[in-house]
Amino acid sequence: EIVMTQSPATLSVSPGERATLSCRASQSVSSNLAWYQQKPGQAPRLLIYGASTRATGIPARFSGSGSGTEFTLTISSLQSEDFAVYYCQQYNNWPRWTFGQGTKVEIK
Amino acid sequence: QLQLQESGPGLVKPSETLSLTCTVSGGSISSSSYYWGWIRQPPGKGLEWIGSIYYSGSTYYNPSLKSRVTISVDTSKNQFSLKLSSVTAADTAVYYCARNSLAVAPNWGQGTLVTVSS
């Protein structure tokens, strides 16, 4: 099983600042990496796939980068609606998807 | 607009079988290129993919749950279902149904909490 490790567990950021979230895979997943956003009481929402491609309707302030085992999600200027939990997911070895444990982005 | 809605008992006794159904509206479950899956999230924890099914009936399961999971599809009702046998408290979670590709899950239901308790 490919283990996904996210850091930090919690990120405290002020509105308008940049947030940088990390995700590491236990073995290479190429660019087969997605990011999801989850707000309390809601289902996850797909943000990024292919490590860097924004899903339909996702604002440009969200960007993804990386390949192999190291990935980053950057939110360039945090808006109030961006405070949430973010999960990375690898899909390199369908059907054995695995998710990271999540990074909570909270208001500083 | 595609919508998915989970339904089923919110409380299941230990050792029994958890059964949930996902009803799809705004699109056909028989459409090609997509799979229909289940993902769960224990309270306060992360996401775990359970398995997916293609409209033809081909199934794909998480190896860690494979011995207890059955996913089926009913194209006439535009529904697919999850059965998880021999449940324990560790199976308490919010269960989501989703439409997924081989890569990602762009469409999710709202989720339903299933508690395993006597």
Report whether B91 contacts B11 (CB < 8 A).
no
For B37, nearest residue in chain A (alpha carbons):
A95
* pLDDT value for A26: 97
Residues constituting chain B: 118
* pLDDT value for B31: 79
Q: Does A71 touch chain B (CB under 8 A)?
A: no
Distance CA A53, CA B41 (A): 25
Residue A15: partners with Cβ closer than 8 Å, 6 or more residues away: A78, A79, A80, A107
Distance from CA of B19 to the nearest CA of A (A): 20
* pLDDT value for B102: 84
Beta-bridge partner residues of A72: A22, A65
Strand-pair category, A98-99 with A70-75: unpaired
Question: Burial letters for A43-72: b for 16+ Cβ neighbours within 10 Å, e otherwise?
Answer: bbbbbbbbbbebbeebeeebbbebeebebb
* Confidence bin at A95 (pLDDT 50/70/90): confident
Beta-bridge partner residues of A74: A20, A63
Residues constituting chain A: 108
DSSP B90: G
Q: Does A64 touch chain B (CB under 8 A)?
A: no
**pLDDT one-digit tens code per residue, B34-73:** 999 999 999 999 999 999 999 889 999 999 999 999 999 9
**pLDDT one-digit tens code per residue, A48-81:** 999 999 999 999 999 999 999 999 999 999 999 9
Cβ contacts of B108 on chain A, cutoff 8 Å: 43-45
Distance from CA of A101 to the nearest CA of B (A): 5
**Helices and strands in chain A: count of H runs, count of E runs:** 0, 11
For B58, nearest residue in chain A (alpha carbons):
A95
Quote the radius of gyration of chain A (alpha carbons, Å): 13
* pLDDT value for A82: 96
**pLDDT one-digit tens code per residue, B8-41:** 999 999 999 999 999 999 999 997 789 999 999 9
Residue A84: partners with Cβ closer than 8 Å, 6 or more residues away: A37, A38, A39, A104, A105
* Confidence bin at A93 (pLDDT 50/70/90): confident
* pLDDT value for A94: 82
Cβ contacts of A89 on chain B, cutoff 8 Å: 47, 104
CA dist A69 → A3, A27, A29, A35 (Å): 10, 6, 6, 14
Distance CA B11, CA A43 (A): 20
Distance from CA of A88 to the nearest CA of B (A): 10
